[in-house]
Chains A and B, each alone.
Chain A
Amino acid sequence: MPATLVSAAPADAPPRDAVVEVDEVHRRFGAVSALCGVSLRVQARTIHALLGANGAGKTTLLRVLAGLVEPTAGSARVLGRPIDASARTRAALGLVPSGDRTFYLRLSALENLIFFGRLHGLRLKAARARARDLLEAVGLAADADRPVSGFSHGMQKRLGFARALLGAPALLLVDEATHDLDPVAAHGIRELTRERAAAGAAVIWATQRIEELTGFADHVTVLQEGEVRFGGSLTALAAHSRGMRYTLRVGVLPAADPESLEEALEGLASIEPAADRDPSHLVLTLAPGVSLGSAIACMARAGADVIACREERPPIEDAFLAIVGQPL
């Protein structure tokens, strides 16, 4: 991303206040329940990740917060006001939808942003200037005058992000923004999101990409089939990990097989052959509270020379799988 977006902090987002308050929200579609008693709080200047598989209810929750879908029961408030279809509530929102069919394909990227900017109350000149700044910020300045019909999925995503920032929103609702983006573009979008949060906005970031949350999200809510399975910090989420797993490369194995090596570990960890069936590769699973160093020291005493060690699965991913009831 070549440019830094400079924009004023939202006027009505006081620091550390709850921008979003969701209490026991239910949403049914006929006999189907998309949200089942979801509650959460999102503060200003924070990035709150909604983590869940397809159909977990992330998009429905964002659509409720955007005023596009009414909750069947429960309450949701943005900036202290009940969510409704009023223009005043929507002025505080910036929505990045998950789909890419949200633009006028015959118009250029610039003209699309000018149009939506004017719907945010900007005059033509101001809308044009804002649109150009945002296109620069999302790395689309060179494509500003091209019709959106020629844009790739990733380019439309970036354009969608630019549109969400037109009104300098106090609440940014982002639905799978980095899905299908290349790593550089995804990094750029996350940087822009951080900037918005630092400027005072609350961000709700719905994603399936667990790996992007470390060092990015302040809080996480795990949704599964419309229900909140976890709410808290990343550190608290990682604590749900079922034990650290490492793939080891071992130079000299004792004459005994892995079972006897596990005996030598005396319950500190379990050990098993790696999936690649390479005899020099072993998978080590630490018992809760055991350090990696003590396990490796134990193995060294039993005659195993540990040459390399790689974390098999990040603890957040493992914790997520544990929370949603998936096997290791």
Chain B
Amino acid sequence: MSAIVVAWRGAVGEAAKIPAFIRRDWLVMLSYRAAFVSDLVTIAIQAVLFSFIERLIDPATMPAYDGTRAGYLEFALLGVIVSLVTGLMLSRVATAVRQEQMIGTFESLLSTPTRPTTVQAGSVAFDLLFIPLRMGLLLVAVAFTFSLHFHAGGVLPALVVLAGYVPFVWGLGLMSAGAMVTFRRGAGLLGAGVGALGIISGAFFPLALLPDWLQAIAEANPVAIAIETVRETLIGGGGWSAIPGEAALLVPASIAALAGGVLAFRAALARERRKGTLGLYRCGPPARATCGAMAANAGA
């Protein structure tokens, strides 16, 4: 049997384990019904908030997409949803590992015949499916409630753009998870990073309001590119042709982030195995004597 066939079968076998993670996280989520509902309510409250802010903003100051002037609620809602997906997925990749370490299941997972990359992918698989679905449903609900106008023909192109963007976030999340495994800390740094990306993403206000030098950075920010492209497709309604050339930047950024993230996470796991602190909540070694000390004491 050729190595390619063996590798292929191995990959299929590993992929077949992903539904187990999805089922696990679905069941865990169902056990936290109140948290699930309150999460949706929080986002709905944000939509109501933005609808009031919209009244303060002169529509003429808002950017136009393919000739269509965006309302602030439409503009902000798409930005909020993409950045929420970004933030949730970024934090979930890292916190999934941290959570497994804290509840003590990380070593149990790694004791099974499952590759670490499968464990990683499985830990976020549910969120990868569920968060975009939840946000999509919320978008539809808010659009109906506030009579917002989104182009149905832009939904599929927007999803394709997001599919190209998600590996970028996942890659960053893996790097962050690697840092979590290594340092047992990083939530604060992660939050600061997400916040910085958010400022130059144009999620809440047009990028034109930024200073020139920040605008230049924002033009290469994959988060900003993803948000702007989703707006182009859903608000402008240009369909596939609305996807600007910058969106092509998402693919190499995603490949680079994902490759870097996988390598960083693997390196973090290998380091922990060498140190012997893989499943430990803290990094400290057990306290005991050195080799031969006991024998020397016994002989004394």
Residues on A close to B: CB < 8 A?
A: 26-27, 29-34, 36-37, 55, 60, 63, 66-70, 85, 87-88, 90-91, 93, 95, 97, 99, 101-107, 111, 114-116, 118-121, 123-124, 147, 163, 167, 224-227, 325
Contacts and interface: CB of A to CB of B under 8 A. Distances in A.
A68 B106 CA distance: 11
A64 to B, nearest CB: 9
Given A90-B113, A106-B28, A99 B104 contact: yes
A325 B115 contact: no
Given A29-B286, A115-B23, A36 B103 contact: no
B136 interface: no
B276 A118 contact: no
B111 interface: yes
B96 to A, nearest CB: 12
B112 A90 contact: yes
A225 B113 contact: no
B273 A119 contact: no
Given A68-B110, A69-B273, A101-B104, A225 B289 contact: yes
Contacts of A60: 276, 286
A60 B114 CA distance: 22
Contacts of A85: 110, 116, 269-270, 273
Interface of B: 10, 13-14, 16-17, 19-21, 23-24, 27-28, 31-32, 103-105, 107-116, 269-270, 273-276, 278-279, 285-295, 298
A32 B286 contact: yes
Contact of A104 (B24, B291, B295): B24
A27, A70, A103, A111 — most chain B CB neighbours (10 Å): A70
A33 B291 CA distance: 6
Contact of A119 (B112, B279, B289, B292): B112
30 contacts: A29-B286, A32-B286, A32-B289, A33-B289, A33-B290, A33-B291, A36-B291, A60-B276, A67-B111, A68-B273, A68-B276, A69-B278, A87-B113, A90-B111, A91-B113, A95-B111, A97-B108, A103-B108, A104-B105, A107-B24, A107-B27, A111-B27, A116-B112, A118-B20, A119-B114, A121-B13, A123-B16, A224-B294, A225-B294, A325-B298
A115 B20 contact: yes
A154 to B, nearest CB: 17
Contacts of A90: 111-114
Given A33-B290, A34-B286, A227-B294, 14 more contacts: A32-B287, A33-B289, A34-B288, A67-B111, A70-B276, A85-B116, A97-B108, A101-B103, A103-B105, A104-B105, A111-B24, A119-B113, A147-B31, A225-B289
Contacts of A93: 111
A197 B287 CA distance: 34
